[in-house]
Every structure is written in C-alpha cells, then in structure tokens.
Amino acid sequence: MERMLAVMADNPPAACAGLIAMVCLASWPLFRTRSMMLFIYTGNSLAFVLHYALLQHWTAVAMNGLIAAQTVAAIGLVRYPRLRLAYFGMMPVMIDVAYLTWQGSPSFLSAAATALSTLGRIQGREIVLRTLLLASTPLWAWHDLVVGSLPGLIADLLSMTIGATMLLRRLSAVNASAPARA
C-alpha cells in the first residue's frame, strides 16, 4: 500500500487520470441499458490509457486503447451488425500488441482481462455482458496490485462490488418475472 501511495504521490497526473478512470469503472454497472453501460466503460478505458501511459505500463495502455475501440464498435452493433467484423478484427491485434509490449505478468493479466471483457462487450444480453465484464475485473485488480496502481485497484474493487450487486439485482428481477414452473 505504501508503494502504491508513493507511485501516485510521485506522479500526480497519473493519479488524476486514475481517479477519472476509477469513477467511470465504478459507475458503469449502475446503468441499466447496454449502450449506457458501454458508453461509461469507454470513458474508463480512455482514462486508463492515460493513467497507465504515465506509469509506463505499455501493455495496459494498448489493452485499454483496444478496449475503448472495441467498446465504441460494440455500442453500434445493435444498429450496424457489420461492425462485428471490425470488432472481431481487433482480436488478433490484441494478441500481437500483448506480445510486442510484453512486460511479464502485468502483460499477461491485462491481456487476459481484456480477452474476457472482449467476450462480454459483444454480448447482446445485458446479464451476460455484466457477468463477463465482472469476470475480467479480478484480473485487472491483480494487475493493479502488481504494477502499483492504487486508483486502478480501488476502481476494480468498487466495480466488483457494485457490479456483483447490480448483477444479483438483475438476476433477481429476471427470476421474479419468470413464470413459475410446476
């Protein structure tokens, strides 16, 4: 924890970008519609691009950049199904970028988290979207512990807590509206 505080104290611009990302990451689960969840998620990704760039964690920069681009494509999928080609076309790029920016375990963790969230954002069903985005968060939390990103870790913990709560609420609502089986 001391190391994380020192990293942020030594780099106030990174701390500010991390704070903006933290607010976006913690708040995306609060929205009900797929498009709003993804719009807020884009803000988180773009702020984390800046945060990790200022900390010189290049795989995380690249992964968040790809996440932002994929998320914008995912928002438009409902209206423009052909965007799936662009969305899926970014997947091999993700693997290449992880290889080119490899920094050991932080690179593995950010790439694995990105892969899970990539699967989530393409989903049309809100419950599956929430579940897969939530599943990526522990990997980002581990990444942030390794690289010393306090805003990232706090954002991950808030996102996991709020995300799990909202997922459980949505599942309860779905179950309550389902017809009883005899």
Instruction: Measure the CA–CA gap between 152 and 88, rounded to whole angstroms.
Output: 27
Backbone angles phi, psi at 100, to 5 degrees: -70, -25
Residue 106 pLDDT > 90: yes
Residue with tokens 């942030």: 144
pTM for the predicted model, two decimal places = 0.83
- Give 40's pLDDT tier (boundaries 50, 70, 90): very high
Pick the more confident residue, 74 or 108. Answer: 108
- Give 3's pLDDT tier (boundaries 50, 70, 90): confident
Please check whether residue 44 is in contact with residue 54, taking contact to mean a CB–CB distance below 8 angstroms: no
Cβ contacts of 9-17, under 8 Å, gap ≥ 24: 11/54, 11/55, 13/50, 13/54, 14/50, 14/51, 14/54, 14/55, 15/150, 15/151, 17/47, 17/48, 17/50, 17/51, 17/54, 17/151
Spacing of C-alpha 125 from chain mean position: 17
Task: Please report, rounded to a whole number, the percentage of residues in the chain having pLDDT higher than 70.
Answer: 98
152 residue type, one letter: G
Q: What is the mean pLDDT of residues 154-161?
A: 91
The pLDDT, as a whole number, for residue 181 is 61
Residue 160 pLDDT > 70: yes
The pLDDT, as a whole number, for residue 131 is 92
Q: What is the pLDDT of residues 71-95, one digit of tens each?
A: 888 888 888 888 888 888 888 999 9
The pLDDT, as a whole number, for residue 180 is 64
Question: Could you tell me the residue ranges of all domains in the chain?
Answer: 2-172
Structure tokens, 24: 């976006």
The pLDDT, as a whole number, for residue 182 is 55
CB neighbours of residue 60 within 10 Å: 30
Residue with tokens 């870790």: 153
The pLDDT, as a whole number, for residue 176 is 84
